[in-house]
Amino acid sequence: MYQPDKLIDYIERCYDALILYCPTAMIIIAGDFNTLNSDDIVSRTGMLSIVNQPTRGPNCLDKIFVNEMCYDGVKVVNSAVKSDHKAIVAYVGSQPNNINKHKMKRKYRQRTPVQHAAFLKHFSSVQFAIGSDSDIQANFDKLYEETHILLDQFYPEREISVTSADPRFVTPIIKSML
């Protein structure tokens, strides 16, 4: 357990001592900054925070601070170990491949105003024949089958690949629009 103010004071003192000892030193501080305000670290040391994506749920808890831009990019990926935090990859050169990324095929039904209009035009003339027998389940099964045929006819299923690197809000329908 630590007090955030005392830890920020300590980080500032260490940073000042390193710069005093070696003014050209490249300083990198990385870790889980759960309770620390990164704005305080930036304002007190002049370092840059280079992680701008969420690393745990919607929060950006894991950070990398640098005193000079030494990386070409930063990528947040799923961790290779069991953790509720994502991993941060800071790299120089071309962007590395994500070996933990997996593709999944997802089915969706595209819905457009043209499809809706065609469906409504056709549906206005559809007559569902309900059997005279008293078997409610058989009547429901027939209705379900006929509506499923209409669904497939006017809104056919399509398939698209979604990856684990896609944000959670990217549904198959949104991905198809991209």
pLDDT tens digit string along 76-120? Answer: 887 778 888 888 888 888 877 766 677 889 898 988 899 999 999
Which residues make Cβ contacts (< 8 Å) with residue 4, sequence separation at least 6?
A: 35, 36, 37
Of 94, 51, 99, 42, residue with least CA distance to 72: 94
Poorest-pLDDT segment among 21-35, 45-59, 60-74, 92-106? 92-106
Q: For residue 56, give the 3-state DSSP assignment.
A: strand
Find out whether 32 and 12 touch, Cβ atoms under 8 Å. Answer: no
Q: Which helix (H) or strand (E) holds 113?
A: helix 113-123
Question: Would the pLDDT of 20 be above 90?
Answer: yes
Nearest by Cα to 51 from 11, 89, 23: 89
**pLDDT above 90: residue 132:** no
Q: CA-to-CA distance for 160 and 91, rounded, in angstroms?
A: 30
Record the tokens describing residue 84, joined without a space.
């509720």
Residue 34: strand, helix, or coil: coil
What's the helix, strand, coil split of the chain in %, to 5?
Answer: 35, 20, 45
Average pLDDT over residues 143-161: 91
Higher-confidence position of 50 and 102: 50
State the pLDDT confidence band at 156, using cuts at 50, 70 and 90.
Answer: very high
Query: Residue 120 in contact with residue 102, Cβ under 8 Å?
Result: no
State how far the Cα of 30 lies from the Cα of 42, in Å rounded to an integer: 13
Whether the pLDDT of residue 152 is over 80: the answer is yes
pLDDT mean over 5-26: 91
Domain ranges of the chain: 4-91, 103-177
What CA–CA distances, in Å, run from 148 to 88, 98, 142, 152?
A: 46, 40, 10, 6
Given a cut of 90, whether residue 66 has pLDDT beyond it is: yes
CA-wise closest residue to 63 among 76, 44, 50, 45 = 50
